Amino acid sequence: MYLSERAGYLKSNLSGEAEYKSFVWHDERIKDRVEYRLLKDEWVTRNVKSDFSINRISETTRPFVDAQIAESWAGPYSVSRGKIHDTRTDPGFVALKNGEVIGYALYLIENGECEIAVLESLQEKQGVGGALINTILHEAKSANCSRAWLITTNDNTHAIRFYQRLGFTLRAVHINAMEEARKLKPQIPLTGNDGLPIVHEFEFEILL
């Protein structure tokens, strides 16, 4: 038997692993060999120790959150499932690092359900988003909610992957829902991430 590696290349996949594919001679035949190796950046992300804290939004941090929502989401009003509400009155949490807000999340509890209304991480690959979500889920369980749910749009493919990794499942796709949303909030842009049209609402949930 003769075995030797002839060539190889790396490419990343959605799970954060690197797929290494090489071509080998095996019994005088060319065969593929595929290995999966964790990318360095992803290894650092998964093994980094948190150096931030999660705190309830206070009078001190609320102005920053309100300003950030105005900048990132054309706030203060938010629309989901055909309803509009003022985020300035929503409860929520902030992630603090050295006294600086590096992420925040707002939620609403109504009728035994918890809606995650807004989530933004200002520092990527630090575990900020996951920590904020888990804090809200703990809050929802303490309030005896049956589920936590959220809305994201079809263009936000990063968020779609992120929520599924946290255990959320796709409950429904609300076709053309953004047409109705723009009637309540005309500031919603027509295009979003990667130039994709913002058309549909994706509803994710996790049962508690």
In this structure, how many other beta carbons lie within 10 angstroms of the beta carbon of residue 32? 8
The position carrying tokens 């809305």 is: 151
pLDDT interval class at 44 (50, 70, 90): very low
53-207 CATH pick, 3.30.450.20, 3.40.47.10, 3.40.630.30, 2.60.40.10: 3.40.630.30
In angstroms, the CA 175 to CA 172 distance is 9
In angstroms, the CA 39 to CA 50 distance is 20
Query: Would you state the pLDDT for residue 82?
Result: 85
CA 86 to chain centre: 22
pLDDT interval class at 157 (50, 70, 90): very high
Average pLDDT (121-144) is: 94
Say yes or no to pLDDT of 34 above 60: no
Taking the alpha carbons of 62, 82, 128, 74 in that order, is the dihedral positive or negative? Answer: negative
In angstroms, the CA 199 to CA 157 distance is 13
pLDDT per residue over 65-103, tens digit each? 999 999 998 889 888 888 888 999 999 999 999 999 999
pTM: 0.74
pLDDT per residue over 117-129, tens digit each? 999 999 988 899 9
Average pLDDT (151-171) is: 95
In angstroms, the CA 54 to CA 50 distance is 10
More confident residue, 47 or 191: 191
Question: For residue 57, what are its two tokens?
Answer: 């939004």
pLDDT interval class at 46 (50, 70, 90): very low
